[in-house]
Structure 1
Amino acid sequence: MSVKLLKPILVALLFSAGTAYAESRTKVQQVDGYFLQPVGNLKVTALFDGELGLPRSDLLGISTEKANQLFAENFVPVNEHNQVVTDFSAYLVQTPTQNILIDAGTAKCFGPSLGHVPENLKKAGVQSEQIDTILITHAHPDHLCGITLNGKMVYPNAKVYLAKADVDYWTSAKNEAKATDFFKPLFKMTRDALKPYQQTGQLIAFTKDSFKVPNVELISTHGHTEGHSSYLVDGLNGQKFLGLGDVVHYAAVQFPYPEASYKPDTHSRRAIAVRKSIFKRASQNQWWIGAAHVAFPGIGHIVKNSKGYQWIPTQYRPDN
């Protein structure tokens, strides 16, 4: 074959290969937003709700320079506003007899980058009608709003458990009137989310003495809100999973420096004391942790080190 004939064929082949490569790149998508983790006889599934930027200015009790150094050393992503990109997750915990959801995500309360728990639950092979128990760590919208969509139950067969202290506070017109502009919208969000469950008697506003859910121990972690609660689920043979809630927001900073606090905490000193206490207990007992605002899947262990504490993320393994 002559060089004159060969040249256009080579050009065509290169163009075809380049086009195919470009098409393959445009078709690639991120994996589905769920992650499976066995914990004893439990099947724990992390459910990605989305991501949002948290302002650096909301991190208190540590110098800006030190915090920024820790964010940089841990390669924490930032958004176009130089805010710390933070993941939002909920956790499905399946025992041999229960389908428990720890927190429920945001639904439409915080914009389009969040609200993906229901779709990721379905991708994980579980229908919303199969959830029988929802344990809400606290009444902030990114944990509570997802139980309801457009005024209707997302989980029609579930009992929703939320600390009475949070129910009372966040449904109070008196507290709403006194709230800052930042918190004021949260009161209506809470009332709207709870309303259909209240109407059918499926909302359980519990106290420390009245909380009763099989296989689950209530751990009071008040501080971030009045009734903030964490839930320790027994997987037998010493294996336990703790749904931590909002004990941690800035993981790169608050694990090594648990005295660093989050500005929206209702009771800052109490939140700091709770963080130190729960880190110590989790480390000593080697509990599995599900942390809502630690990088997805937010499942791992907390261990003591020379500085403070360290987050050890779980390792991916095939689902056998």
Structure 2
Amino acid sequence: MNRFKFLALAVLLSANIASAQPIIPAQQVRAVQQVDGYFVQNIGNLKVTALFDGEFGLPRSDLLRISSEQADQLFAENFVPIDDQNQIVTDFSAFLVQTPTQNILIDAGTAKCFGPTLGHVLENLKHAGIQPEQIDTILITHAHPDHLCGITVDGKMAYPNAKVYLAKQDAEYWTSAHNEAEASHFFKPLFKMTRDALKPYQQAGQLVVFTKTSFNVPNVQLLATPGHTEGHSSYLVDGKNGQKFLGLGDIVHYAAVQFPYPDAIYKPDTDSDRAVLARKNIFEQAYRKKWWIGAAHIAFPGIGHIGENVIGYRWVPAQYRVIK
């Protein structure tokens, strides 16, 4: 009986103590923030980490070779977010690919080149537990600022131990004073951004300008995918046992439209016809060979597969799984 009295007294005391704790007003509770912007996917012997750079609105008017009515219907059916200017909210991402012996970064984000809604690759890399000094290889898909600017911070190398790889066609085009003078108002600022980003690596001897025949990075196959730019490159990383990961670059900008209708084009493409050809070729190869895909402008994390659709192709996003 004494035992039961003791238990009853303990319960009563604990209830009184609990009721005596101050209640924190709702307005003083820290607001819940979004999780850190990285996502990890094991692919064979690779550890692939998607790194969120931010989001930006792409104009509907830059989507061509498809009617605006049909495009708008696809955006609505796929619940694509729209910003305050009625532009298509588009994610920007880079990808860390870790082999047993390499830390490879495919693209590096925008840094400060495109405004405050972008530029978060470096901080998300650190959130994922990797320091910039650990990156040994940076594969740039093309020399547009949202893929290249992030290699530098305030004029200095953000990744001091990395070699930066860029296709010769893009390196020559986007550093040319002649091309800058001839460029449209839209493209003209990009030339200085490119030169500024590359300069410290060039001075340190850590810029590798490659051709189809000279490209040489262990475990990585170059897939030339020109069209968006002359030197646009995609990178296929071997994860062994039949598992491969393809860093796609800017093969796709408007995923809801360009998967089912790959003939639809993005206005800033350098050569629209070649861009369409590259897109169809890569989609078909990736579908047939079941490659894993990392796409810079598909909804984060932008990792998944390409599947067949009733019309064209479809995006099959990766499923969240616990990493062991």
Normalising by structure 2, we get a TM-score of: 0.92
**Which residue in the other structure is 1:6 paired with?**
none
Counterpart secondary structure, 1:119: helix
Counterpart amino acid of 2:314? Q
Corresponding position of 2:255? 251
Report 1:147-158 matches (<5 A): 147-158=151-162
Paired-residue identity, %:
75
The one-letter amino acid of 1:117's match is: V
Aligned 1:1-320 pairs, distance under 5 A:
20-24=25-29, 26-320=30-324
Amino acid at match of 2:252: V
Number of positions where the alignment pairs a residue of Structure 1 with one of Structure 2: 304
The structural deviation recorded for 1:98 is 0.1
Q: Deviations over 1:80-106 (max 9, x none)?
A: 000000000000000000000000000
The CA distance in 1 between the partners of 2:264 and 2:310, in whole Å, is: 17
Secondary structure, aligned partner of 1:27: coil
In the alignment, the residues of structure 1 paired with residue 263 and residue 212 of structure 2 have an alpha-carbon distance, to the nearest angstrom, of 26
**Displacement after TM superposition at 1:319 (Å):** 1.6
Partners of 1:146 and 1:164 lie apart in 2 by 19
Q: Distance in 2 between matches of 1:70 and 1:23?
A: 42
The alpha carbon displacement at 1:21 in A equals 3.5
Structure 1: gaps of 5 or more residues: 1-12
CA-CA distance at 1:23 after TM superposition: 3.6
User: Which aligned segments of 4 or more residues in structure 1 are displaced greater than 3 angstroms?
Assistant: 19-24
The residue identity in structure 2 corresponding to 1:242 is L
What RMSD in Å do the two structures reach over aligned CA positions? 1.1
Residue 8 of structure 1 aligns with which residue?
Answer: none
TM-score (norm 1): 0.94
Amino acid aligned to 2:243: Q
Q: Give me the whole-angstrom Cα distance separating, in 2, the residues matched to 1:168 and 1:146.
A: 19
Provide the C-alpha distance between the structure 2 equivalents of 1:48 and 1:131, rounded to a whole number of angstroms: 17
The whole-number CA distance in structure 2 between the counterparts of 1:311 and 1:319 is: 23
Q: Secondary structure at the match of 2:25?
A: helix
Tell me by how many angstroms 1:74 deviates.
Answer: 0.4
